[in-house]
Structure 1
Amino acid sequence: MRCTLPVIRVMLCVAGLALGHVSTAQTESDERALLDVKNGISISKEPKFLLNLRFRMQARLGLNTVGGEDLSTDKVEGRIRRLRLRFDGHVLNRKVQYYIQLAFSKADMDLESGEIAQPIRDAILYYNFSPNFYMGFGQSKLPGNRERVVSSGNLQFADRSIANGAFTLDRDFGVFGYWTIPAGGTLFNVKGAVTTGDGRNASAINSGMDYTGRLEFLPFGKFEGSGDYSEGDLEREMTPKLSIAAGYSFNDDAVRTGGQLGSDLYAPRDMGTFIADLMFKWKGVGAMFEVFDRRTSDPFTFDADGAQRIALEGTAMNSQLSYCWPKHWELAGRYAFVQPSTRLRSSVKKSEEAILGLTKYLNGHRIKAHLNVGYRWTEGDAALDHPGNSWNAMVQVEFGI
């Protein structure tokens, strides 16, 4: 076992080199196409053609301890977590838009859990029927939980929560629709999708489909930029802003342990996922809260030799609270848990995490540095000597245009 202290010293040095300077905020929309191109490198021949190019990378160094009391190093993670190249724009006219995103790191191409590289993250065409209604056809993020739809480049922690990891919907191929309904000083967003249910870059597997719907209510109107899909109040909203949402996804004959994600099941299972979340921002204070409830027709599947593979079901919650100072330093905290259903409690343990994060935004979310320290525990027992509990720390630097 290597000592944890030298690794921590290296991580603090990296964080120190990365933190400093004033930021200027930039925004990125939710799962929709980027309608107003302000960032990146653009090639255009208006009004018929626009190509906007952007890239981003995330370099990280992290560690996990052996246990809660044993602080010797169990694992060290040093790598490029994400390297993305993004193309968006329009063809023929501004009503016909496209969005393509490619991934190049090992984790982003699913090579940690599979043997076939999957470089295509998003590839979708949109048609705008009006300023408030448009549809898409292709592969993109489903209108699921907020934390997932928020770009990984707009997060306030180095990683998403364990709740998201257990029950998110992620990406799929199909037809997507978005409808914005202004109502006085408030807004409603209606989002829906009919997709294959098999996840990104899937082969033709079965006839089952996935049906997803989501309704968002913004009682105080639109956030600055696209702040309801960007973590932390970098814009320092002058008046309170709130977005409340709920949605449901039914995956008919799901073939993977997590619906669109995970290993292949030995037999298809119907899977229903309820999601509710909110985002609040005001004068540097940011709060996000999500709850999940997933149920399956039968979580247990078996192969001919009796080997078992489980479709995860249960409940989960993620909560985040932060404050961003005018000089673009941010302090954030997170608590999240995943509680398996009663049917699975003999096979899957309840897991919980608490994380404290310090972030310096050098150029909004495009250039920033994270320092995260967290603690994870199982079976509802946070005692340092409980088996399976551990500490973790992470330094991550993000750079992009």
Structure 2
Amino acid sequence: MKQRREGALLVTIIFFIVSTSCFSQTNPPVISPSPYFTYGKGLGITSPDSLFMLNIRFRMQNRLALVSESESDLDIASVEARTRRLRLRLDGFIYTTRLTYLIQLAFTRSDMDYDDTGFPNVIRDAMIQYSVNEHFSIGLGQTKLPGNRQRVNSSGDLQLPDRSIVNSTFNIDRDFGLQLYYNNAFKGLAYVVRGAISSGDGRNITSSDRGLAYTGRLELLPFGKFTNGGDYFEGDLAREPKPKVSFGLTYSNNQNAIRTGGQLGKFLYESRDIQTNMFDFLIKYNGWAFAAEYLRRTTPNPITTNEDGDQRFVYVGHGQNFQGSYLFKNNFELVGRYSQVRPDTDIQLLEEKIQQYTMGVSKYIRGHRLKLQSDLTYETNTWLSGTNADHNNWQLRFQIEAGI
């Protein structure tokens, strides 16, 4: 009897071992959890351990533009038919939500600075930023400097097909360096302070010891913050229920700059110290929006010359831009803009005064991510020196913006 019991126990143990082994072989191995996907401002991918997040976005601007021969001769002098911008943006965090990154790549010729630099300048942004707390953050890399408001706004968040001639003439664009950002409020007065110490040479230029650029910007918001960050996109798409106002003041000192626009433009024959002052104002309320900017650039002796007598110069002078709009409830928007750039006496033999009067209309299908835009501009070109004939013309643009 005892032997039978021991035999039965032995058979039971063997059966259990064999069954367990067979079960473990027929079932698949354990697979790690899948990443999390989100769909909001782009396509978001978060690792299973939540230590890494990648957000993917793209956008394109397809544009058709016509310029007349003159104000009276409406024959077409030039045609612009191209993809103005095509960009891929990657952003997210690494290991902690306090450590974020931003990468933005450009794929059109005009977006690459090819004509000025001579090489395809694909990288627009490559920035690592650490948030010390909710008020203060610090970043290192290449991105926009804290310049005038229209430049700080994304080109995808404009209410006309492109920024003004004031911005294209005087803005300080992107650079590589250290940037600081601080925001807070004092007795109901919200404010933002930004600062940057950068190379001064612009995007992806070989490093040198010629000099650095120092930039500081202060923004004051006396009626509090804008809805959904509305001070950083054009048009009152948020339909502010109460008036919101922002004043911005920027100063930039680019020491031993080697390009005609500091961080932009062709390379000078000699370096120059360039100072740029900027002031901007913004108000939004119940679909109405009005913005104004004044920019001024100075440098001693702006003209540089090589051994053959060729000249390249810093555009010294000032510009002003005024832009107003109203957004109807069907998401059609009417926009008016006046822009002027005026050269200082030192370069009036080389550059004319330009004024633009623009009327535009936009249809927002899905905010700034999907929209149709068109504008008509009357431009006057006046030589203040009187050495060349003045010239005026008409410009018509149509653009489709699409992205996620």
So what's the TM-score if we normalise by structure 2?
0.87
Match of 1:283 among 282, 286, 297: 286
Q: Determine helix, strand or coil for the equivalent of 1:130.
A: coil
Residue 100 (structure 1) aligned with residue 103 (structure 2):
yes
Q: Relative contact order: is structure 1 or structure 2 higher (C-alpha 8 Å, sep ≥ 6)?
A: 1
1:99 alignment partner AA: L
| Offset at residue 48 of structure 1 (A) | 1.1
Partner of 1:324: 327
Residue 393 (structure 1) aligned with residue 390 (structure 2):
no
Q: How does 1:350-389 map to 2 (within 5 A)?
A: 350-379=353-382, 387-389=390-392
Match of 1:40 among 27, 39, 42: 42
Partner of 2:300: 297
Q: Give the number of equivalent residue pairs.
A: 362
Match of 1:179 among 179, 182, 189: 182
Partner of 2:191: 188
Aligned equivalents of 2:291 and 2:89: distance in 1? Answer: 27
Partner of 1:237: 240
Partner deviation per Cα, 1:122-178 (whole Å, 9 max, x = no partner): 000000000110011000000000001100000011011000011000000000000
Contact 1:285 1:323 in 2 (8 A): yes
Aligned equivalents of 2:128 and 2:102: distance in 1? Answer: 7
Pair 140,37 (structure 1): closer, same or farther in 2 beyond 3 Å: farther
Q: Determine helix, strand or coil for the equivalent of 1:371.
A: strand
Unaligned runs of 5+ residues in structure 2 are 1-37
Residue 337 (structure 1) aligned with residue 340 (structure 2):
yes
2:319 alignment partner AA: A
Partner of 2:31: none
Aligned equivalents of 2:173 and 2:135: distance in 1? Answer: 24
Contact 1:47 1:94 in 2 (8 A): no
1:270 alignment partner AA: D
Aligned equivalents of 1:94 and 1:355: distance in 2? Answer: 43
| Offset at residue 37 of structure 1 (A) | 9.0
Aligned equivalents of 2:40 and 2:105: distance in 1? Answer: 20
| Offset at residue 351 of structure 1 (A) | 0.7
Q: Determine helix, strand or coil for the equivalent of 2:169.
A: helix
Contact 2:348 2:383 in 1 (8 A): no
Residue 249 (structure 1) aligned with residue 260 (structure 2):
no
Aligned equivalents of 1:191 and 1:300: distance in 2? Answer: 31
Q: Determine helix, strand or coil for the equivalent of 1:107.
A: helix
Match of 2:318 among 308, 315, 340: 315
Q: Determine helix, strand or coil for the equivalent of 1:225.
A: helix
2:46 alignment partner AA: S
Match of 2:214 among 204, 211, 217: 211
Aligned equivalents of 2:96 and 2:39: distance in 1? Answer: 14
Aligned equivalents of 1:205 and 1:85: distance in 2? Answer: 29
Unaligned runs of 5+ residues in structure 1 are 1-35
Pair 50,37 (structure 1): closer, same or farther in 2 beyond 3 Å: farther
| Offset at residue 71 of structure 1 (A) | 0.3
Contact 1:176 1:194 in 2 (8 A): yes
Aligned equivalents of 1:362 and 1:143: distance in 2? Answer: 30
Aligned equivalents of 1:244 and 1:380: distance in 2? Answer: 33
| Offset at residue 348 of structure 1 (A) | 1.2
Partner deviation per Cα, 1:233-266 (whole Å, 9 max, x = no partner): 0111000000101010000001000000000000
Contact 1:126 1:135 in 2 (8 A): yes
Residue 161 (structure 1) aligned with residue 168 (structure 2):
no
Aligned equivalents of 1:109 and 1:120: distance in 2? Answer: 8
Range with bigger deviation, 102-111 or 389-398: 102-111
Partner of 1:86: 89
Partner of 1:273: 276
Contact 1:250 1:270 in 2 (8 A): yes
Partner of 1:264: 267
| Offset at residue 297 of structure 1 (A) | 2.0
Partner of 2:34: none
Q: How does 1:25-174 map to 2 (within 5 A)?
A: 38-45=40-47, 47-174=50-177
| Offset at residue 114 of structure 1 (A) | 4.3
Q: Determine helix, strand or coil for the equivalent of 1:226.
A: helix
Contact 1:179 1:189 in 2 (8 A): yes
Q: Determine helix, strand or coil for the equivalent of 2:350.
A: coil
So what's the TM-score if we normalise by structure 1?
0.88
Q: Determine helix, strand or coil for the equivalent of 1:389.
A: strand
Range with bigger deviation, 200-209 or 271-280: 200-209
Contact 2:146 2:215 in 1 (8 A): yes
Aligned equivalents of 2:329 and 2:116: distance in 1? Answer: 41
Aligned equivalents of 1:280 and 1:295: distance in 2? Answer: 29
| Offset at residue 80 of structure 1 (A) | 0.5
Aligned equivalents of 1:336 and 1:129: distance in 2? Answer: 40
Q: Determine helix, strand or coil for the equivalent of 2:141.
A: strand
Partner deviation per Cα, 1:106-134 (whole Å, 9 max, x = no partner): 21112344431011000000000001100
Identity fraction in percent: 44
Pair 279,171 (structure 1): closer, same or farther in 2 beyond 3 Å: same
Aligned equivalents of 2:255 and 2:113: distance in 1? Answer: 24
1:132 alignment partner AA: H
